[in-house]
Amino acid sequence: MVRRYYRPILSEGEGLPLAGGPFSFARAEVLTRAGSEGFVAAADVPADWRERLTRPRHLLARFTQPLPLVMGIINVTPDSFSDGGRHDAPLAAIAAAHAMQAAGAAIIDVGAESTRPGAPELPVADELAGLAPLWAGLAGLPVSIDTRKSPVMAVALDEGAMIVNDVSALGHDSDALALVAARGCPVILMHHQGTPETMQIAPHYDNALLDVFDWLEGRIAAAVAGGIEPDAIIADPGIGFGKGLSHNLALLQGLTLLHGLGVPILLGASRKSLISKLAGEVPVEQRLPGSLALALAGAEAGVQLLRVHDVPETAQALTLWRACHPALA
């Protein structure tokens, strides 16, 4: 049996509402693994897909900022691919987190384990030790914890973190799913292929866009079966995690398909190597223009969260972007 996927073509104020947000869609592209079958009217999209595409994302109601929300990145590691060493001093990390919130970040994503390509796994004790000096200074901020490990998740939630951001989609630690379900907190499930140590060794997909969709759909189903509320889940296609340039581009060009998962979508493309591959060997510290371009591409695709290193610049770009779209301003 041929499975058909429905990728909404977004518009402003025309057709059916997308995910309860400011965009709509009057038609959708029909995709199969054999290719595109053309377009259908939104009203002709099958009921199950139509429901997932139009259902409001209630998780987002807790935030007052306009969509897409900005998530600022704080890595307290010496070896993260982009900002390694910048925030490994606790006072610097705390000051940066407060500055990000003041600049418009709705969430501050804090992590102490590098998941750059080739990075080895960090022992739990070391990860906890890296985070321990931060908690008092982060009190009151909307923090997400970027970790694959249930003991780190537990401590962070005890210290006031509100969201778990797991690059392994709760697959690395066998206790993680039950912990998140018991705590009732939102969770970000990110697609990956392999581990950070191995993920960039010849990644392969039959169809990157549809393979990632199917994988995330399966992880969402597993999370719900394990007791996590559907409205507590966010999906991330995992740009750069076990993907070559062609795979990343297929995901970016087809992002609107992911709204069919029925959950908010997070895009994390800030300073990623695909910018260098497209723009000509641009070092990490010079990838702001490319990062902003990718953030705005995500906004145009209706993603609800953007995970970025450069919060003030991204917030400014989004303000101007909204001003150019009267329905979104």
Report the catalytic residues.
272, 307
Which residues touch 52 (CB under 8 Å, ≥6 apart)? 259, 260, 261, 262
DSSP string, 195-226: -TTTTTSS---SSHHHHHHHHHHHHHHHHHHT
Phi, psi values for residue 166, rounded to 5°: -115, 115
Among 259, 262, 274, 115, residue whose Cα is nearest residue 195 = 115
Nearest to 131 by CA among 108, 104, 100, 105: 108
- What is the three-class DSSP state of 254? coil
CA distance 151 to 217: 26
Six token digits for residue 209: 């866009």
Q: Which residues contact 161 (CB under 8 A, 6 or more apart)?
A: 110, 143, 144, 145, 185
Task: Provide φ and ψ at 198, rounded to 5°.
Answer: -120, -5
In angstroms, the CA 283 to CA 5 distance is 37
What is the residue whose two structure tokens read 């139509």?
50
Amino acid identity, residue 116?
R
Angle at 142 between CA 190 and CA 99, to 5 degrees: 105
DSSP 7: E
Please report, as a single letter, which amino acid is at residue 185.
C
How many whole angstroms from its chain centre is CA 195?
Answer: 17
> Tokens 């597993």 sit at which residue?
222
Q: Nearest-CA neighbor of 20 among 70, 67, 63? A: 67
In the numeric block, which tokens belong to residue 120? 């080895």
